[in-house]
Structure formats: structure tokens, C-alpha cells
Amino acid sequence: MMKTLKNNTQQMMLMKMVKAAIKDSDYKNINQLFTYLMVNKEEEDLRTGVRNKIEAYSKLHPPFKKLSSLKEANDPLKVLFDYVKKPQDDLDTLVSTTNSMII
């Protein structure tokens, strides 16, 4: 609920900034705002992709499963789960950690 409230507040503030830039005919600021929107969308797509990969991996490889091959042991998502995941971590924490590792 807090995440939704934060997103709605950010969108409202952004739209106020866009309206003000359009009213003032500040094209440089308009371009910067739309670039910001595009970057946010790309970041959300990246997070969604990482979340989907983690979910797919966790369904295929439960934590108690023994590795059957060296290839499976070298899987980067396996490394992520072994070295990054803590018992209290949820999926959002893993996605954020993975994104910070990628960037």
C-alpha cells in the first residue's frame, strides 16, 4: 500500500512538472522529464525480468535440492541464491540486490 501511495505521489508531482514545463514552453525541461520517464520504465522492465528469472529458477531448483552437475553449480542465479539470499530476504530484496550487481 505504501509502495502504491509513493508511486501515485511521484506520478502526480511529475505530471505537475510536465504541465508547468509545457505552460512555460521549456522544451529542454520537457525532454529531460520524458527521458526520466523512459529510464524509469526501462528500470522497471529490468526489475520485472530479473524477478521472473528468480521465480522461474526457484521453482525449478528448490533450496534443498542437491546439484546434479557442475553446469548447474555454475548457474549465476544459483550463485545469487547461495551467496546473497538470507532467510529474511523476500523476492523484492533479491531483485534489488541483483539490479545493483548488474548496474
Spell out the per-residue pLDDT of the chain, length 103, in tens: 787 888 888 888 888 888 888 888 888 888 888 888 889 889 989 988 888 888 887 777 666 656 566 666 666 666 666 656 666 666 677 667 666 655 5
Contact 25, 19 (CB under 8 A): no
pLDDT recorded at residue 86: 65
What does the radius of gyration of the chain's CA atoms come to, in whole angstroms?
20
Q: Are the CB atoms for 91 and 54 separated by under 8 Å?
A: yes
Supply 36's cell numbers. Answer: 526520466
Amino acid at 103: I
Under a CB-based contact definition with an 8 Å cutoff, are residues 84 and 100 in contact?
no
Q: What is the pLDDT of residue 57?
A: 79
